[in-house]
């Protein structure tokens, strides 16, 4: 089965010019969802992970399943104001304006080996900010794993030094 065939492209969502990669069609297919999680697990099963960071909100779906599969704890990184305890925040640039992500200050320990998971790598701003949070807390980013990567946005150019894995690639 080709996982790419399970992704639905929704043109002009949420605004004109954007080709939105809809993962709900993959999630709805039990074999495809499982295959995606198994492939992610195979990539990182020998990495002695101490925690898996999931980025709100679609990242939670894959991070939680992968954490369960590998028997590792899951750490949520969320949009501002959502986490109840004391947080650390990182701001990043969007096409227009800025956005931010937050993590609980006690979410990980010094030298913890952390995998960051999200559904899709576009410009890389979100994952770069998330990696910064992990490192500020003393964690080590062992890798960043995505279901989908939009190769034409060249996020890897801004993520030098990090291991990046994506199961599905779109080059246009
Ligand atoms: P970025 O910070 O540019 O790498 O954006 C990554 C985040 O935006 C991910 O959490 C994605 O869920 C979302 N995203 C960006 N572009 C798309 C797209 N074309 N289709 C679906 N989700 C997207």
- Output the residue whose Cα is nearest ligand 1's atom 12: 120
pLDDT value of residue 52: 99
What's the predicted TM-score (pTM) here? 0.98
Query: Where is 49: in which H helix or E strand?
Result: none
pLDDT value of residue 34: 98
2 an active-site residue? no
Q: What is the mean pLDDT of residues 58-84?
A: 98
pLDDT value of residue 96: 82
Instruction: Convert the pLDDT of each residue in 26-46 to its tens digit.
Output: 999 999 999 999 999 999 999
pLDDT value of residue 114: 99
Of the candidates 34, 56, 58, 140, the residue annotated as catalytic is 58
Q: Does residue 14 register a pLDDT over 90?
A: yes
Instruction: Convert the pLDDT of each residue in 83-134 to its tens digit.
Output: 999 999 999 998 788 999 999 999 999 999 999 999 999 999 999 999 999 9
Say what percent of the chain tops pLDDT 90: 97
The full set of domain ranges for the chain reads: 37-170
Distance 122 CA to ligand 1 centre (A): 5
Give the nearest ligand 1 atom to 118 CA.
10
Taken as a whole, the chain contains a residue count of 172
Q: What is the mean pLDDT of residues 66-81?
A: 98
pLDDT value of residue 5: 98
- Angle subtended at Cα 100 by Cα 102 and Cα 17, rounded to the nearest 5 degrees: 135
Give the nearest ligand 1 atom to 22 CA.
21
pLDDT value of residue 62: 99
The mean pLDDT value of the chain amounts to: 97
DSSP character at residue 78: B
pLDDT value of residue 95: 77
Q: Is 83 helix (H, G, I), strand (E, B) or coil?
A: coil
Distance CA 172, CA 70 (A): 33
Say what percent of the chain tops pLDDT 70: 100
We find that the CATH architecture of domain 37-170 is 3-Layer(aba) Sandwich (3.40)
**Hey, what are 71's tokens?**
């028997």
Q: Does residue 68 register a pLDDT over 80?
A: yes
Distance CA 17, CA 13 (A): 8
- 18 confidence band (pLDDT: 50, 70, 90): very high
56 an active-site residue? no
């Amino acid at each position: 089965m080709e996982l790419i065939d399970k992704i639905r492209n929704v043109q002009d969502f949420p605004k004109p010019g954007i080709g939105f990669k809809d993962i709900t069609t993959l999630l709805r297919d039990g074999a495809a969802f499982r295959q995606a999680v198994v492939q992610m697990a195979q990539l990182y099963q020998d990495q002695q992970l101490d925690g898996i960071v999931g980025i709100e909100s679609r990242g939670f779906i894959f991070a939680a399943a992968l954490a369960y599969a590998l028997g590792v704890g899951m750490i949520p990184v969320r949009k501002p104001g959502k986490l109840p305890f004391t947080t650390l925040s990182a701001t990043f640039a969007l096409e227009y304006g800025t956005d931010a992500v937050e993590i609980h200050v006690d979410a990980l320990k010094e030298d913890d080996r952390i995998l960051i998971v999200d559904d899709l790598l576009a410009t890389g701003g979100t994952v770069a900010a998330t990696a910064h949070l992990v490192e500020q807390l003393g964690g080590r980013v062992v890798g960043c794993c995505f279901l989908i990567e939009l190769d034409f946005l060249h996020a890897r150019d801004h993520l030098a030094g990090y291991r990046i894995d994506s199961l599905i690639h779109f080059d246009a």
